[in-house]
């Protein structure tokens, strides 16, 4: 009887230790998961500086995907038309505050480096969730783009319907997104989100020097 | 041990679900899910939303005409009419890269004070919230989310 009691006690102690270990393990993992969840919930559209920009990085070192889009006058403009020049393909949108901030920098840099064989193709990617048949909505978008171009004195070609290039250009998940293309048509740098005028200038110089 | 393992499974599932929804929408509708209002009478209701941490959306009256305002709407055919909507004023936000650019935005949780008029009966209303979200450096395309509310007009 006494022996049975001791065995029973031991079994209970062992079960209690297992239960405690399981509970402690659960609590530890729950807290770790909550910490990870909290950091995942902190949205960041643009990876922090120095972090490879996952969707854009694979495009660097490869030929820029070809395209042909209409400008605001309805004329087709192709990337091929700029072969032999260094090109900044800048995807932007009228509703994008950071795009508005960087546009005057782009205008200055374009005027500064154009004599060296540099051009910017500003591609409007409104990313609007308007229905395809919403003629009024699309006409409003086009008018807003034209108005923006005039007000910002953009001297370089501005093309519309950049959303149609989302797949070949890495998703175009956020604006602004820029691709720096050298004279041979190869992407030498890509950025998502606003950086600084000096960063943009450094990438323009890189595009001008590469492949020449 | 069993308790611990079962618990771990739940934690992992929660984490997975959280990440999926975090990627899906910048703005989440919180509550109310269900409302009971006097039929035919204008009734005030506060609709609560949460913006993902690190993002902001333009206020209903943003400073710049190019920016897309946050707007609530209710489809005509839903049996409930949106009489008016009162939006929070928003707070000033300075773009870190250009301190001269000041925006008026919503961050965190916010509520829209709507006045609705419901017909008698049970209406599964799919209200819409249109917004456009950004972080400090970049912006997401404009988006319209559905705000599902079960409105009972008595």
d(CA A9, CA A4): 8
Residue A109 CB: number of other CB atoms within 10 A?
20
Q: Touching check for A211 and chain B: CB below 8 Å?
A: no
3-state helix, strand, coil in chain B (%, to 5): 15, 50, 35
Q: Is the pLDDT of residue B1 over 50?
A: no
Sheet with B34-37: strands ordered across: B34-37, B143-153, B121-131, B71-73
Q: Between chains, do B139 and A41 touch, taking CB under 8 Å as contact?
A: no
What's the gap in Å between the CA of A102 and the closest CA on chain B? 9
Beta strands in chain B (DSSP E): 27-31, 34-37, 43-51, 56-58, 71-73, 80-86, 91-94, 102-106, 109-118, 121-131, 133-134, 143-153
- Note the pLDDT tens digit of each residue in A140-178: 888 889 999 999 999 999 998 888 899 999 888 899 999
- Note the pLDDT tens digit of each residue in A9-43: 888 888 888 888 777 776 666 565 555 444 444 45
Q: Which CATH class is domain A57-209?
A: alpha beta
Q: Touching check for B52 and chain A: CB below 8 Å?
A: yes
Q: A96: number of CA atoms within 13 Å, CB side? A: 28
Choose the weakest-confidence range: A104-113, B5-14, B92-101, B113-122: B5-14
d(CA A170, CA A56): 6
d(CA A19, CA A1): 27
CB B18 within 8 A of CB A40: yes
- Chain A residues within an 8 Å CB radius of B144: 129
Token couple for B45: 């209701």
pLDDT value, residue A85: 97
Residue B18 CB: number of other CB atoms within 10 A?
17
In A, residues 77-96, which contact B (CB 8 Å cutoff)?
93-96
CA angle A54, A58, A154 (to 5 degrees): 85
In degrees and rounded to multiples of 5, residue A198 shows phi and psi of -70, -35
- Note the pLDDT tens digit of each residue in A68-98: 999 988 899 999 999 999 999 999 999 999 9
Residue A200 CB: number of other CB atoms within 10 A?
22
- Return the residue in A49, A97, A141 with the most chain B beta carbons within 10 A, the one to mutate for interface testing: A97
Fold for the domain defined by B26-153: Immunoglobulin-like (2.60.40)
Bridge partners (DSSP) of residue A186 are A63
Beta strands in A45-185 (DSSP E): 68-70, 76-78, 86-92, 118-124, 158-159, 177-181
pLDDT value, residue B2: 32
What's the gap in Å between the CA of A63 and the closest CA on chain B? 25
pLDDT value, residue B19: 30
Residue B50 CB: number of other CB atoms within 10 A?
14
Q: Between chains, do A37 and B8 touch, taking CB under 8 Å as contact?
A: no
- Note the pLDDT tens digit of each residue in B23-79: 458 999 999 999 999 999 999 999 999 999 999 999 999 988 889 999 999 999 999
Write the residue in B3, B7, B144 that is nearest to A30 by C-beta.
B7
Q: Touching check for B109 and chain A: CB below 8 Å?
A: no
CB A175 within 8 A of CB A92: yes
The one-character DSSP state at A61 is T
- Chain A residues within an 8 Å CB radius of B139: 45, 93, 95-99, 174-175
Average pLDDT in the A38-55 region?
Answer: 50
d(CA B70, CA B95): 19
pLDDT value, residue A38: 46
Q: What's the pTM?
A: 0.77
Q: Per-domain residue ranges for chain B? A: 26-153
ipTM: 0.78
């Amino acid at each position: 009887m006494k022996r049975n009691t001791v065995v029973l006690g031991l079994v209970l102690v062992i079960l209690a230790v297992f239960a405690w270990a399981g509970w402690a393990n659960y609590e530890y993992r729950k807290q770790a998961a909550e910490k990870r969840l909290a950091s995942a919930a902190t949205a960041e559209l643009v990876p922090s500086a120095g972090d490879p920009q996952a969707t854009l990085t694979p495009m660097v070192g490869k030929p820029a995907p070809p395209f042909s889009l209409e400008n605001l006058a309805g004329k087709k403009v192709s990337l091929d038309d700029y072969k032999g020049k260094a090109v900044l393909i800048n995807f932007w949108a009228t509703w994008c505050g950071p795009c508005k901030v960087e546009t005057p920098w782009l205008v200055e840099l374009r005027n500064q480096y154009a004599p060296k064989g540099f051009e910017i193709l500003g591609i409007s990617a409104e990313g609007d969730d308007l229905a395809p048949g919403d003629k009024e909505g699309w006409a409003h978008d086009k008018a807003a783009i034209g108005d923006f171009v005039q007000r910002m004195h953009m001297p370089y070609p501005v093309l519309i319907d950049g959303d149609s290039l989302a797949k070949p250009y890495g998703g175009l998940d956020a604006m602004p997104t820029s691709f720096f293309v050298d004279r041979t048509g190869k992407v030498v740098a890509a950025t998502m989100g606003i950086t600084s005028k000096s960063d943009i200038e450094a990438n323009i110089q890189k595009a001008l020097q590469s492949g020449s | 041990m069993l308790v611990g393992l079962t618990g771990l499974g739940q934690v992992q599932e929660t984490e997975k679900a959280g990440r999926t929804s975090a990627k899906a929408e910048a703005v989440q509708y919180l509550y109310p899910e269900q409302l009971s209002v006097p039929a035919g009478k204008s009734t005030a209701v506060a609709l609560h939303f949460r913006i993902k941490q690190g993002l902001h959306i333009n206020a209903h009256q943003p400073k710049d005409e190019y920016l897309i305002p946050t707007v609530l709407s209710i489809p005509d055919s839903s049996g409930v009419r949106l009489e008016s909507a009162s939006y929070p004023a928003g707070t000033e936000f300075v773009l870190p890269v250009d301190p001269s650019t000041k925006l008026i935005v919503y961050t965190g949780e916010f509520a829209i004070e709507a006045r609705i008029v419901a017909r008698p009966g049970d209406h599964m209303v799919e209200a819409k919230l249109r917004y456009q979200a950004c972080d400090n450096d970049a912006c997401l395309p404009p988006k319209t989310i559905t705000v599902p509310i079960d409105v009972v007009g008595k």
